[in-house]
Amino acid sequence: MSDVYAQPTAAAQPASTGDLAQYTTLCLGGPAGRVVTATTADEIVGRVREAGSEILLLAGGSNVVIGDAGFPGTVILVRSRGLRVLTEDERTVTVRVEAGEPWDDLVAATVRNGWAGLECLSGIPGSTGATPIQNVGAYGQEVAETIVAVQVYDRIAGTVGQVETDACGFAYRSSIFKYSERWVVLSVDFRLARSPLSGPVRYAELARALGVEVGDRVPLAQARSTVLGLRAGKGMVLDADDPDTRSVGSFFTNPVLDAATYEQVRQRAADLGEPPSWPSAGDTVKVSAAWLIDKAGFGKGYAGPEGTAISSKHTLALTNPTASASTQALLTLAREIRDGVHHRFGVTLHPEPVLINCAL
C-alpha cells in the first residue's frame, strides 16, 4: 500500500484503466488490469473484498514507484474524505480523519483551528491514510507522536478493527503496515494539543529560518508558512510549473549506522569534513543521505538516462522532469547513486518509496 493512501459521492464507479502514471507524482507507471474508485471506508472494504488477492491501493501516489509493466490486478483509488472530532477537553482534541483526506489540507485545518502537533509536516504531498504506513516525518515531527489509533481492514481475518499506537510498530519511516498486505488503512485518529503555538522547534534548519533557538515555540501559522517555504525551496511542494516536483520527494532514507560503521564513514570522509549526523535510537547514528550522495559525486541536477535527473534543488529527490521517462530509467539512476555511495563510503542507501512491480 503506497501512498497509498474529497466529498463522498454515490456508488463508486470504475475509472480508466490507462497508465498509472496519471495517478503518481513521478508521472511513471504502466497500465493496470482494472482501476476502481472508493469514496468511503465501507467502499474501500467492499472494493478490497471484491478484488481478491491482487490489489494496489493508491491515493496521492506521492510515495510510490510503479514499474513500466504496470500492475496486473485491481488498483483501488482511495478517495474517502472527512475529519470529525471524537473527544476534546481544555488541553487536547482527538480527531478522526479518513484515509483519502489530502494530508496538507488536514495540516492546514489543524493550524486554522489552533491544534498543535502537525504544523511542521506542512506541504508533504499525499493522503492521511499513508502517514502511519510510512511514519511520515519532517523538520523534527513524526506522525507517530500524535497518532493514537489507526482504523484498518484486516484482510486475513476479514474484519474491520483498530490498531492502537503501541501496536503500530512505529520506527524511522516504518510501521507494521509498510511491508504487509494484511492491513488496509481506513482512517487515522490524532490527538493534538490546543495551543496557538507550535511544539518546541527541534530542527536546527527550521529554527534558523524562524530566527529562534532550538526548543522555542512560535505561532502555528508562522511554523507552517516557514516549513512550506523551506520545502518549496527544495522542490518538495507539488507545483505543476516546477519540473523538480515530479518526484517522490526523498528517494532514499537517511542511513542509521552503528558506532563502528559510522566511524568507518568518518574515516572515509576525512578529506570532506564531518558528515552531518544526528543521534538515533540506542547507540546508532543517523547520517545525511543527501550529504553522502553529493560527496560521492552526484550533485544537484546530475543527469540520468531518458531525461531523469537529481533535482536541481535537493540531492535526495530523483525527478522525471519532462514526464516522458520510463521507470526503468529512473531506477537506473537510483542504482548508479546507490552503488556510487557504497563504493565511496561503504554505506548502502535504501529507497524510501514503495516499489510496485519493479526493484532496485
- Known catalytic residues are 173, 250, 352
Q: Which of 60, 67, 28 is nearest to 324 (CA)?
A: 28
Q: Is residue 68 within 8 Å of 20, Cβ to Cβ?
A: no
Q: Which of 196, 142, 144, 204 is nearest to 168 (CA)?
A: 144
Q: Which of 127, 22, 135 is nearest to 81 (CA)?
A: 127
Residue environment code for 283-310, b if the CB has 16+ CB neighbours within 10 A, otherwise e: ebbbbbbbbbbbbbebebebebebebbb
Distance CA 328, CA 28 (A): 10
Distance CA 129, CA 151 (A): 10
* CA-angle at 320, arms to 301 and 70, nearest 5°: 150
